Amino acid sequence: MGLFSNKISKEELHVGDHIYSWKPWYIYAHHGIYIGDNKVINFTARAGGGEGMGGILKNLFASSVLKQSFQHCSECSQNMENTNGVLVSCLECFVHGSQIHRFEYGVDTKTFLAQARGGTSHADPVEDVLHRALFLWENGFGGNLHW
């Protein structure tokens, strides 16, 4: 990873990494937590539509040529049918033909200020990150969750 890019290769991934990939035309970055075994927990619009920006973007890209030309693997397609806003997908479906980027935690102030995106000065332990991601996958996102 460099100062101006947080792009990494698949081989550089670690369990608990906060990763993202840019979607078509760099309109937005899709974020997830890498949980190992080529799997990513990520947020998506709830089944039956979605509210807010996530729902708008989902509808926008659902009609795009790029989205129509991409076929999710059979496992991920099945997982997407009954989502509660959080799903587990394989890395390839998560990245969707884009590059993998890692959100960098614990960076110094100069690096934090120099980066346009993808860095922060605080990091939680990997165990906490995994616990939170798995909890949301099992219980859904939204409502009255208290951390």
Assess if residue 145 is contained within a domain.
Answer: no
Domain assignment present for residue 147? The answer is no
Q: Which range of residues forms the domain containing residue 131?
A: 7-139
- Does residue 58 belong to any structural domain of this protein? yes
Predicted pLDDT of residue 11: 96
Q: How far apart are CA 126 and CA 27, in angstroms?
A: 29
Query: What pLDDT does residue 144 have?
Result: 45
- Number of structural domains (the chain) is 1
Q: Give strand pairing partners of 126.
A: none
Per-residue pLDDT of the chain (147 residues; tens, 9 = 90+): 455 568 899 999 999 999 999 887 778 888 999 999 999 998 776 554 545 455 555 555 544 433 443 467 877 766 666 667 788 899 999 998 889 999 877 766 676 666 555 555 567 888 998 898 889 888 876 654 444
70 belongs to a structural domain: yes
In CATH, what number is assigned to the domain containing residue 26? 3.90.1720.10
The pLDDT value recorded for residue 14 is 95
Specify if 52 maps to a domain: yes
Q: Is residue 139 within 8 Å of 85, Cβ to Cβ?
A: no
Dihedral sign of CA atoms 141, 59, 52, 124 in order: positive
Does residue 146 belong to any structural domain of this protein? no
pTM over 0.85: no
3-state secondary structure the chain: CCCCCCEECHHHCCCCCEEEEECHHHCCEEEEEEEECCEEEEECCCCCCCCHHHHHHHHHHHCCHHHHHCCCCHHHHHHHHCCCCEEEEEHHHHHCCCCEEECEECCCHHHHHHCCCCEECCCCCHHHHHHHHHHHHHHCCCCCCCC
Contact 87, 66 (CB under 8 A): no
- What is the predicted pLDDT for the residue at 114? 63
Using CA atoms, how far apart are residues 53 and 122, in angstroms rounded to an integer? 26
